[in-house]
A = this chain, B = another copy of it.
Amino acid sequence: MIDPSPARPVHLDPLTPLQFLERAAFVYREKAAVRYGQTTLTYPQLYARVRRFARALTAAGIEPGDRVAVLLPNIPPMLEAHFGVPLARAVLVAINTRLLADEITYILQHSGSKLLIYDAEYAAVAAQVRATLPLLRCVAYDDSGAVHADMDYEALLAAASEEPIAFDTVDEDATISINYTSGTTGRPKGVMYTYRGAFLNALGEALETGLDATSNYLWTLPMFHCNGWCFPWGVTAMGATHVMLRKIDPALIWRLIAEEGVTHFNGAPTVLTALVNDPSARRVARPLTVATAGAPPSPRIIRQMEELGAEIVHVYGLTETYGPITVCAKQPEWERLSDSERAQLKSRQGVGYVSAGNVIRVVEPSEDGVLRDVPRDGETLGEIVMRGNNVMKGYYEDPAASARAFAGGWFHSGDLAVWHPDGYVEIRDRGKDIIISGGENISTQQVEKVVVEHPAVLEVAVVAIPDERWGEVPKAFVTLRSGSEVSARELELFCRERLPGFKVPKAFEFCDLPKTSTGKIQKFVLREREWSGRERRVN
């Protein structure tokens, strides 16, 4: 609630996403805020649970600024944590549920979290963590109702009061959450989000994906990932319905899309690939908007999703940018192009969000600290940098890493891209992914886009492997569509027709691809296997 007689000027209230929940609970008295299996929570019910949650935290000794960690799938308590923790003026640390005990322990220690709330599904890893951190206080949530040794989430809520709590005395630049990067090398870093950033990005997502009060949002994207791109706050802002999902299950997703009238979901292209290839795939009845990121969607997956009636919004960002900061905004004249030309344009990362503004650049490598734009020629490779309200406040307790990331007054993404004459950026590779073969740059993403066009191919990852003559050359790891067959030789010929010779993979291997919990292909796993014992220099 807003303090009825605040001391600050009448025209200045802090930007905070807690305002969204209060308004939704006030305006939408009967509407489902949450649907989870047989459970429905209205907005007033959700808000009452959030107030109990916040009061339970305070009763447990959590003070303003304390960190509260959660290890939860996309179930109601995870949404409640996105409001309840800030309502207690604490800082939310949402941990990737696929991490191993020692990684979780590191995050809990580094963030100095006072409390961990975990789902019974992760009871075993929580027990391992506690073996190392015997003083960590834990709260367990179990939707089977089983009793755990730790404090029970529902019992805590039941014991707390749901009296209103003022949320408007916060500084909008205060930290609302810390999200640890997945960190393929080195220890994870804690990315700090602010109340102001969360508010603006939540509305930005609503604008870019067209959320409104009639929307039903399906939780395919993990909320532990960049706070679910701020959708916990954005969906609530619009008074739309959160449809919960404990885990990615293509058949269940198709059933929920039909039964819950899903209008929006987000997911990596690998999630979309799993969906279009599932036997339950069917044309959708209601307009469906799917925001995708993590890797550029191939023209093929864009076409396949569109054939099922979904509209693909291609966005791009990093943990350091609250999730997406660019969108491949559609141009009216694209409608006149062929499906394949249009899909090609849509696979670019695009331009800044409306809410972010024109604060994305591609810059040359710099020796003197001054950032210079690359020419907008669609060819010159540079690094994507960005700034503004869509960028993190810094890395928690790591001023050195923050200073490095913010060199020259812009956040350095580490992503290599070209800048097209129309102003759209297109990632050619994450820094480590680029292949330098005989002095020539090869974009692994460009090669992947070609290979995946072959009808037998389901997914592909291209990485550099060592080569005596060229230093390194591309190799393709390929997963075939079930029931399809193709030889390495056939794929090579397919590529030769479509790529210059030096970009054609020198080897093809047929296998399943290693993926992160958010569905990103882990190229570094493939690379490490190929380079074991040898050192690869990275530019």
Contact = CB atoms under 8 A, between A and B. Distances in A.
B26 A355 contact: no
- Provide the main secondary structure of the chain A interface: loop
Interface string A10-36: 111101000110110011111100000
A423 interface: yes
Nearest to A208: B212
B351 A406 contact: no
A6 interface: yes
Given A389-B12, A391-B10, A406-B10, A351 B411 contact: no
A230 to B, nearest CB: 14
A2 B387 contact: yes
Interface stretch (A326-334, A439-447, A459-467): A326-334
Given A4-B371, A210-B212, A239-B329, A423 B27 contact: yes
A359 B2 contact: yes
A26 B423 contact: yes
A409 B203 contact: no
A356 to B, nearest CB: 8
B26 A358 contact: yes
A509 B411 CA distance: 69
A346 to B, nearest CB: 14
A409 B10 contact: yes
A453 to B, nearest CB: 28
Interface residues of A, number: 63
Interface string A335-379: 000000000000000011011011100000000001100000000
**Oligomer copy total:** 2
A267 interface: no
A239 B1 CA distance: 35
Contacts of A388: 2, 10-13
Contacts of A173: 12
A325 to B, nearest CB: 12
A140 interface: no
A502 interface: no
A127 interface: no
Contacts of A291: none
A241 B329 CA distance: 16
Contact of A357 (B11, B22, B394): B22
Given A26-B351, A207-B212, A210-B210, 5 more contacts: A5-B409, A13-B387, A19-B357, A20-B357, A23-B352
